[in-house]
Structure 1
Amino acid sequence: MATIPLSRYPRIVTLVSATFALAACSFGPNGKPPAMPQPAHYGAAAQPTQTVAAQGITQQFVVGAKPVPEWWKQYQSDALNALVDEGLRNSPTLAATDKSLAAAREQLRAQVGSSMLPTIDAGGQATRNRALTIPGFGPSTMLYDVFIGQLEAHYTIDLFGASRLADAALASRVNVQAYQLDAARRALAANIVTAAITSAALRAQIDTTERLVTLANDQARDTQRRYVLGAVSHADQLSAQQSAASLSASLPGLRQQWLTTRHALAVLLGRTPDAAPDDLALAQLQLPQQVPVVVPSELLRARPDIQAADAALKAAAADVGVATAQMFPSLSLSASMGQGGFSWPVALSGAGAIWSLGASLSQPLFHGGALFAQRRAAVDTYDATVSQYKQTVLAAFQNVADSLAALEHDAQALDSANVAARSAQGIFEETSGRYRLGAVPIASTRSSEQQFRNAQLDEIRYTSARLTDTAALFQAMGNPPVEAAGGVANSANAPAAALVPASSVTAVN
């Protein structure tokens, strides 16, 4: 009887121990997301219940409210609603993402069908053959025909769940794409709203700046005439000319920003840049007075990016199970039946019946450590996905915190800018009245109007910032979770999950 060298006992013992250890423990993690801290409030300081009143409007933060699905309708603008609807309907980027998701779902159906069900193929063969002969023995040539028709079946029994886990991993990756499509829809809507508001604000800034340029040019001409008459110094004349030129130099940059924003908005809508829509009237957009603040525990279920990270985590957990199951035996069954013969009459008769049954069992023994390395790689990938999930959640908390702080500070800045604009307008109106009475020169009127227009520019900027930051907060809240039978599930992942047997959704223990 052959003996095993003593030097090989440690390696054999290690291999056997590892095999039994893998068989005894879980095939992989359960795929549940790690527990995340639930902050009492999002920011470094607790958010207020409402902002200060700016332009007569106070925004209230409704803590615990559900996200608003079509939040852009809160601006109460039919023109804005039409733009968002057009973009969601015609965006090529969104259509491409949707088709990619449809292709991924079909690939999942194909994999589930090929891995969980037997394959059956029909085949037929008709050949004419010439047999080799040995000189001096038998006839010099032997010709014969072969006719075969048969059905072949093959099925691999998923003893340790490798196929089911692979299907679950692919289903989770399809869910990732579904959540990404959901996120893309919301991002597109937010980009359209932001671009429309920004374009309207830039148009208003251009109009106000053009008026400032006109005032500055008038002032420069008057100063030039007064310099010729010797009423002002040369330095005063140059200063007025420099102010007018500086204001004129700011206009091309504003116009460039305005056109760039309009072009971007047209592309978001699925149009060519030359078909950019007309600007909205900034004053016609109604600032939403109530904005939802989803509690942190609900935010994990409402944000598509967090849901996508959760689905990626489940896929990585299933990959660990697949890598583990590949270390265990696999059993395949095969069968065939049909008719065959050297002539059609024989092949179609009872004498031509042919069949076969077979089974094969395979157990990996030595692969140079590849299987263990693949499992360790899958575990490391899973650990990396856990960290990515945590980072996604933290980034979502930061996004909400920043948006809340921005709205609070926008309201404060806009309130101050609005007070300054009203005061400057009052000074301008009083100075204009005194000019009409002949009490002050025209230069004083121009100077007071310049102060008013500059204050108006600041008010336009802060109004735009408040409107766009409100859109950012609505976007940061995500989607309201969809209640489904048997638990809560987002509608995006239901089709993919339904294709995979329930036993494969979690790792095999």
Structure 2
Amino acid sequence: MAFFPAALVAGCTVGPDFHRPAAPVATAYRAADDVAPAAGAAPQASLGEGPQAQWWRAFGSDALDQLVDQALAHNESLAASDATLAAAQAQWRAVLGRRAPQIDANSRAEQQQVNLAAFGFGASPALGLDGNPDFHLYSVGGGISYDLDLFGGLKRQAEQSGSLALAQQRQTEAAHLALAGQVVNQVLTIAAIRSQMAAQQALLSDDARNLDLMQKRQQGGEGTAVEVLSAQAQLAADRPALPALQQQLAQARATLATLLGMTPDTLGKTDFTLEQFALPAQVPVSLPSALVHKRPDILAAEAQLHAATAEIGVATARLYPNITLGATLEQGAPGLGDLTANAFRGYDLFAGLTAPIFHGGTLKAQREAAVARARAADHTYRQTVLTAFAQVAELLHALDNDAQGVAMQQDALAVADRARTLSRKSFDVGNSGVLQVIDSQRTWQRASTALVQARAQQFLNVARLYVATAGGWVTE
């Protein structure tokens, strides 16, 4: 190897080295002139390190905590993601092993019958050989080979495989985070549906009471058939809403059961109500510069970019020569007892050189493709960051708007409830008709449903914000 330059023999690593993308210079998610939240409105965002692990405990429900823990332990999709991660990590170790010397052992036992006549020899009774003598041969040995990896092709392959394993790890972390968010979402959805069902049942009770009152007034000669029919029509119109809500509840329960890794019939009770959950006064949100180093999907895109960068080095190394060193040692003898004798020993030492001469442009094209894939991975990473920032910004706006919306709906419900009470009193003393009572009940029902929906949306958006900035899931 004296004809190789010293630097070549020592080896080098071709291709670009990966450098972690710089953190964004942004210090906020929203423009400075955005409308600030009303004083005292809760919950409010608190920019800092972001939420800690097990962020769902902020809702103050032991039952919710248990369901999330159960999902993380038994969800089938999550188990598949864990298995995929184990496979990626094993593949990385396999690639790393190729950089070490490769040692193999072999043994062989043979029996051969030689046709001496085919080589112009006849039988030799004096030597105890007939025309087709049998021979036995036993051999044992081994060999070692080592790829010098002159231009770092194996090193870049290991770097690429390790980055892909890290990307899968980040994707698995993202799957854990997403699963927790889905469980919280379904539990809150079930609570909202049950609250809507309670409001609908209260409305049906009012409808039934109105109908009973109208029938009694008609029987007493004070009411009319029109009033009775109006009350019957309203009760009939309100009844279909309850089965529709029951269907939504069944769907939400089935989805929750699937997330927990069980069948719907084994789910058990899910009698949640929104009153069982607490809204946190403060929602910790990661700073933009910290979010890119903590959010799993961004870290997965970063690892994919690292793998694509390493692939350029792999493709570049194929353009240059490579040397493999090796040695073999073998003992071969006609009898087992002779295998350790020096007379039957053989060995060889070798150095093999391979160099690409002409491949029709394939190797260069492969490198160009690797460079293009690295550019694509870079753009994908940047898009992932932008999407994450937009999502957080949207949810921060929702945090403010939801608080104002809930307050407005509470005021609207209070007014509707007062109007319903006054209209019933007015009807009882004969100052108004049943249509005014029914109309006030419709207004109250709409306000009640709107408040439930607004509160549910507020809970859901808070949970989404935790997921969007749940950097506490990843420990660096």
Q: TM-score range by the shorter chain?
A: 0.7 to 0.9
1:251 counterpart = 2:242: yes
C-alpha RMSD over aligned residues: 2.9
Equivalent residue, structure 2, for 1:59:
43
Partner of residue 316 from structure 2, selected from 316, 324, 327? 324
1:32 counterpart = 2:19: yes
| 1:33/1:313 contact within 8 Å kept | no
Partner of residue 62 from structure 2, selected from 78, 84, 88? 78
Distance 1:370 1:80, change over 3 A: same
Partner of residue 89 from structure 1, selected from 73, 77, 90? 73
Classify the secondary structure of the residue corresponding to 1:72.
helix
**How far apart are 1:402 and its partner, in Å?**
1.1
**How far apart are 1:221 and its partner, in Å?**
6.4
Q: For 1:246-290, what per-residue CA distance to the aligned partner results, in whole angstroms no more than 9, with x for missing partners?
A: 322222221111110111112212221112342223112110110
Classify the secondary structure of the residue corresponding to 2:471.
coil
Distance 1:27 1:146, change over 3 A: same
1:157 counterpart = 2:148: yes
Distance 1:37 1:346, change over 3 A: closer
Distance 1:63 1:213, change over 3 A: same
* Alignment partners' CA distance in 2, 1:85 and 1:49: 36
* Alignment partners' CA distance in 2, 1:243 and 1:390: 56
Partner of residue 454 from structure 2, selected from 462, 478, 484? 462
* Alignment partners' CA distance in 1, 2:429 and 2:61: 44
Aligned positions of 1:285-324 closer than 5 A = 285-324=277-316
**How far apart are 1:223 and its partner, in Å?**
5.9
**How far apart are 1:435 and its partner, in Å?**
6.9
Return the letter of the residue paired with 2:165: V
Aligned positions of 1:272-283 closer than 5 A = 272-276=263-267, 277-283=269-275
TM-score, normalised to structure 2's length? 0.87
* Alignment partners' CA distance in 2, 1:116 and 1:296: 39
* Alignment partners' CA distance in 1, 2:154 and 2:247: 57
| 1:88/1:185 contact within 8 Å kept | yes
> After alignment, is 297-306 or 236-245 more displaced?
236-245
Distance 1:46 1:392, change over 3 A: farther
**How far apart are 1:469 and its partner, in Å?**
0.4
Partner of residue 377 from structure 1, selected from 352, 361, 369? 369
Q: For 1:403-461, what per-residue CA distance to the aligned partner results, in whole angstroms no more than 9, with x for missing partners?
A: 11111111111111001112223334455667778877777666544433332211111
| 1:165/1:321 contact within 8 Å kept | yes
**How far apart are 1:103 and its partner, in Å?**
2.1
| 2:55/2:470 contact within 8 Å kept | no
Partner of residue 192 from structure 1, selected from 162, 183, 187? 183
| 1:332/1:361 contact within 8 Å kept | yes
**How far apart are 1:397 and its partner, in Å?**
0.6
Q: For 1:2-55, what per-residue CA distance to the aligned partner results, in whole angstroms no more than 9, with x for missing partners?
A: xxxxxxxxxxxxxxxxxxxxxxx98333333555753353235655664565xx
* Alignment partners' CA distance in 1, 2:63 and 2:327: 66
* Alignment partners' CA distance in 2, 1:166 and 1:416: 60
Partner of residue 209 from structure 1, selected from 200, 208, 233? 200
Equivalent residue, structure 1, for 2:4:
none
Distance 1:344 1:271, change over 3 A: closer
* Alignment partners' CA distance in 2, 1:231 and 1:125: 109
Equivalent residue, structure 2, for 1:100:
84
1:451 counterpart = 2:443: yes
| 2:305/2:374 contact within 8 Å kept | yes
**How far apart are 1:243 and its partner, in Å?**
3.6
Classify the secondary structure of the residue corresponding to 2:82.
helix
**How far apart are 1:122 and its partner, in Å?**
1.4
Distance 1:38 1:242, change over 3 A: farther
Partner of residue 116 from structure 1, selected from 99, 103, 116? 99
| 1:73/1:81 contact within 8 Å kept | yes
| 1:33/1:386 contact within 8 Å kept | no
**How far apart are 1:474 and its partner, in Å?**
0.8
Aligned positions of 1:390-401 closer than 5 A = 390-401=382-393
Q: For 1:475-506, what per-residue CA distance to the aligned partner results, in whole angstroms no more than 9, with x for missing partners?
A: 11131387xxxxxxx45xxxxxxxxxxxxxxx
1:143 counterpart = 2:126: no
Distance 1:242 1:428, change over 3 A: closer
Partner of residue 343 from structure 1, selected from 335, 343, 358? 335
* Alignment partners' CA distance in 2, 1:99 and 1:40: 38
1:176 counterpart = 2:167: yes
1:414 counterpart = 2:401: no
| 2:14/2:152 contact within 8 Å kept | no
* Alignment partners' CA distance in 2, 1:181 and 1:335: 43
Return the letter of the residue paired with 2:460: T
Classify the secondary structure of the residue corresponding to 2:117.
coil
Return the letter of the residue paired with 1:100: T
Return the letter of the residue paired with 2:103: I
* Alignment partners' CA distance in 1, 2:146 and 2:233: 86
Percent of aligned positions with the same letter in both sequences? 35
* Unpaired runs of at least 5, structure 1: 1-24, 483-489, 492-509
| 2:286/2:471 contact within 8 Å kept | no
